[in-house]
Amino acid sequence: MAQLKPILRGRDLSPSQFAQNDFARFQNCFEYVEFDVAGKTIWFPRKKPDGILKGVSERPRPWNERGWFHPPYLSRGLVRRLLETDQFDELLANGYSLLHLATMWNQGFRELSIFERFCPVIFESIEAHALGLEDVAVSSLVPVIEGTLRELQDRLGFAGESITDRLEHFAPAVAENAGGWFYQCDWLPRRFRSYDYLKRVDEFVWLVDGYVLFLKEHLFADTDNFQNPSELNRHGILHGLFDSYGSRTNFFMLYSMLEMHAFITNLTGENQFLLFPEMNEHSEKTSLYLGGLDRLSSVRKTVSQRITQQR
């Protein structure tokens, strides 16, 4: 309080309370003095950011070894098992079930304006996946990933730059525009809203930061330097340099990118949902339809093999 007296002297201000705020998911809390000024809530933290971060190490990124990022809408238990298992593909398929895909498409993507013009293509990609046409499912989603990412970047003020150049500013812009999720106040020192601080203490910013790293090192990486056997690389797929990218794991990874774009959209503006949306009757009916396509997939594959082997 003694440090605040020069600021308060001559002003009609008085602290309304001392409180401890549990705003972060990794670094638990800091103490602050709270003021109400003309209907605005002001916080003065009792420690500087450097003091709060003292002894806090960088959060590890085990997903880099998998060539992926931390998915936003899978349960923590499943995410942990995905990191530990040798049956990654099978476990991932359990997470991205047809019901999961249908629910996110119906109650997720269709509720957000950023996906409005892409929803028909997304659904066709889901249909192709259900039919076992993974080459089609994967290749049709890549432009949607790029289109929705470009739309996000435009909304955050990066018009006129290439999509890869904008990645340098993307995570900091998300952190700056999502400040309302971290603090329940109208003002506090700028350093507590900075990207460098938030990515150390907040799970949401850490998720976005890891996603940007994945985009740089994998999806948008220079094809000459891309070594991942998954071939999940935008340039290699769309320029016809790769031909083994059609796997259901790659489809699930691309779908998780769309879900990350939905997560970021909610974090920075539309505020529809940060948790996985609840299924409804429409989702269940859509899932039943996709299940029918899945049952047809084995027949389709058999007939397709006979046709393509004929001369």
Residue 25 has pLDDT above 70, yes or no: no
Q: Pull the structure tokens for residue 262.
A: 């939905």
Q: Residues 272-301: pLDDT tens digits? A: 677 888 889 999 999 999 999 999 998 888
For residue 94, give the amino acid letter.
Answer: N
Residue 31 has pLDDT above 90, yes or no: no
Q: Residues 112-156: pLDDT tens digits? A: 999 999 999 999 999 999 999 999 999 999 999 999 999 999 888
| 3-state per-residue secondary structure call for the chain | CCCCHHHHCCCCCCEEEEEEECCCCCCCCEEEEEEEECCEEEEEECCCHHHHHCCCCCCCCCHHHHCCCCCCCCCHHHHHHHHHCCCHHHHHHHHCCHHHHHHHHHHHHHHCHHHCCCHHHHHHHHHHHHCCCHHHHHHHHHHHHHHHHHHHHHHCCCCCCCHHHHHHHHHHHHHHHCHHHHCCCCECCHHHHCHHHHHHHCHHHHHHHHHHHHHHHHHCCCHHHCCCCCCCCHHHHHCCCCCCCCCHHHHHHHHHHHHHHHHHHHHHHHCCCCCCCCCCHHHHHHHHHHHHHHHHHHHHHHHHHHHHHCC
The confidence score (pLDDT) of residue 6 equals 54
Q: Report pTM.
A: 0.86
Q: Residues 33-71: pLDDT tens digits? A: 777 777 778 887 877 888 878 766 677 677 877 789 999
Q: Where are the domains of the chain?
A: 5-53, 63-309
CA distance 50 to 215: 30
